[in-house]
Structure 1
Amino acid sequence: MTGGALAALIRSSAAQRAGGPAERCELCASPLADDHRHLYDAGREEALCACPACSVLFAGDGAGDRQYRLIPRRRVKLPPVETGPLGVPVGMAFFVLREDGAVVAHYPSPAGATRWEVDASAWQEAVSRCPDLAGVVPEVEALLVNTARNLRHHWIVPVDECFRLVALVRREWRGLSGGGRLWPAVEEFFAGLAERS
């Protein structure tokens, strides 16, 4: 996730908490509802807020010419996925399949998202053990894993949910280990996934 995408999510969240102005479509500037859709901008590797009319334009193989892609809304709870071979150094990470077949892992941190490329054979092994991963849509969906604090969350989610989690971690982190606000906020985030799945 780029710094621009993260900054936009943080500004949006701060404006909503402060009762600030409503968000606007980043394509046509129309006011947006709270549950608006997002487009993935492949060139800038970030999510853009989109109104219903603009969302329709970029659905399927619409006007985006692969530059802009409508981020899907499906959330699929998975059985536990063995992520050790994927090289995850922490308990919370997400994995995005690229158009070229490479898989990039990210983990939220107080400085944003740290990323690294996953070994291709390790990803294929994960897919063989969890066939649902073969259906992850490149660039716009991710495998999201949270095994921190003995939890077992494994999901296929829209990539904008991952960006939202990165913004949440960055906003709530305090001290060396996250502080008292971070982990309840993370638990609330994953509870929300379950409610919306």
Structure 2
Amino acid sequence: MTGLRRFLVEDREPPPPVEHCDLCSTPIPPEHPHLVQLDERRMLCACGPCGFLFDNPGAGAGNYRRVPDRYLADPAFTLSTTDWDALQIPVGLAFFLHNSARGTVVACYPGPAGATESELGLAAWDSGIGASALATELRPDVEALLVRRDPPACLLVPIDACYRLVGLVRTHWRGFDGGAEAWRAIDGCFDELRARAQTLEREA
């Protein structure tokens, strides 16, 4: 039995790697804060104390911003086919964020190779999705509008939620249209985000 036990131990899957804070190297749990490093447009994992430190906008010479834990939905939001087509996004799924370094709105869409930044003009942003109540709430660099064409959906989410969706697409996408498994993963992600989202409160 001792010999058999040795083979059973060897056949076990190795434990998942432990993540560490990118600032102080402290081990961190799977759910942890994230920071955006503005100069390099890089996402950093942080422990609780480091994340708390960068709640102050002036910390780190203003080069780091903590990603907030805010999810908003607007039941009054509508997305027409004309509005979407005017954005010239080649797929039916995208997220939009204010890039403070460039002073503009950036459109990204997930695909099998990762997140692709749209190089197409966004002249229709101000009169379309950008005119929505959710768009006026966006915090630069750390939040995004996650928009789906069919079925129509628009959520204000932390930017790390968008990159989690990008990771799902990369993992499950098969063939030209993604395949059923990829779209089940996308549907599940949107269901989870909707469940976390609070309704946007409008001023009277």
TM value normalised by structure 2? 0.80
Query: Greater CA radius of gyration, 1 or 2?
Result: 2
Provide the residue aligned with 1:115 in structure 2: 117
- Unpaired runs of at least 5, structure 1: 1-16
Provide the residue aligned with 2:189 in structure 1: 189
Provide the residue aligned with 1:95 in structure 2: 96
Provide the residue aligned with 2:78 in structure 1: 80
Once residues 97 and 119 of structure 2 are traced to their aligned partners in structure 1, the CA distance between those partners, rounded to angstroms, is 10
| Alpha-carbon displacement from aligned partner over 1:49-70 (angstroms, at most 9, x marks no partner) | 1111000111131413231110
Letter in 2 for 1:182: A
Once residues 34 and 120 of structure 2 are traced to their aligned partners in structure 1, the CA distance between those partners, rounded to angstroms, is 26
Equivalences for residues 23-42 of structure 1 within 5 A: 23-42=19-38
Equivalences for residues 4-83 of structure 1 within 5 A: 19-78=15-74, 79-81=77-79, 82-83=83-84
Letter in 2 for 1:83: W
- Structure 1 residues 32 and 97: CA distance shift in structure 2, 3 A: same
Once residues 106 and 128 of structure 1 are traced to their aligned partners in structure 2, the CA distance between those partners, rounded to angstroms, is 15
- Unpaired runs of at least 5, structure 2: 1-12, 198-204
Kept in 2: contact 1:97–1:103 (CA 8 A): yes
Superposition deviation, residue 144 in structure 1: 0.6
Superposition deviation, residue 36 in structure 1: 0.7
Provide the residue aligned with 2:3 in structure 1: none
Equivalences for residues 128-143 of structure 1 within 5 A: 129-143=131-145
- Structure 1 residues 80 and 61: CA distance shift in structure 2, 3 A: same
Superposition deviation, residue 119 in structure 1: 4.0
Superposition deviation, residue 116 in structure 1: 2.1
Kept in 2: contact 1:103–1:118 (CA 8 A): no
Of 18-27 and 31-40, more deviation after overlay is shown by 18-27
Provide the residue aligned with 1:155 in structure 2: 155
Provide the residue aligned with 2:148 in structure 1: 146
Kept in 1: contact 2:87–2:121 (CA 8 A): yes
- Structure 1 residues 132 and 44: CA distance shift in structure 2, 3 A: same
User: What RMSD in Å do the two structures reach over aligned CA positions?
Assistant: 2.0
Percent of aligned pairs with the same amino acid: 40
TM value normalised by structure 1? 0.82
Are residues 1:105 and 2:107 paired? yes
| Alpha-carbon displacement from aligned partner over 1:75-121 (angstroms, at most 9, x marks no partner) | 11132343332222210001111114311111101011111256464
| Alpha-carbon displacement from aligned partner over 1:19-45 (angstroms, at most 9, x marks no partner) | 412211111111212221100111221
